[in-house]
Structure 1
């Protein structure tokens, strides 16, 4: 079962351009597996492969998704 969407926790101006799954998990107050589950089932933004061993999310994409979730609620 997926966790409910919590409120935004951190200040967007303090973020780098890209986020790890751990950073997203901390931001939303969930575990990393939940982030990957949201990608598969909830329309969460797809990660970007920056190199063969580096997968990240654009904070701008996450913020847009988060705003859409808030607007839909």
Structure 2
């Protein structure tokens, strides 16, 4: 699957694990594993049943990964 472009990611401040998985071409479990092991940004709990990531945090993490190697 192709990565989402900046225009697509700029549309929403928050994103689901499903959207992140599509963006990175991995499954949802991988996103959660990255949170636990690879320094991926922690999600934000918006309500008891709603957990999301901010695109700003995700883009900052991507930029740091690109600089690191």
Matches within 5 A, 1:8-47: 9-15=3-9, 16-47=12-43
Taking structure 1 as the reference length, the TM-score comes to 0.86
- Residue deviations 1:6-46, cap 9 Å, x none? xx811122221111000000000000000000000000000
List alignment gaps of at least 5 residues for structure 1.
Answer: 1-7
* Higher helix proportion (structure 1 or 2): 2
**Structure 1 segments of 4 or more deviating over 6 A?**
none
Provide the TM-score with structure 2 as the length reference: 0.91
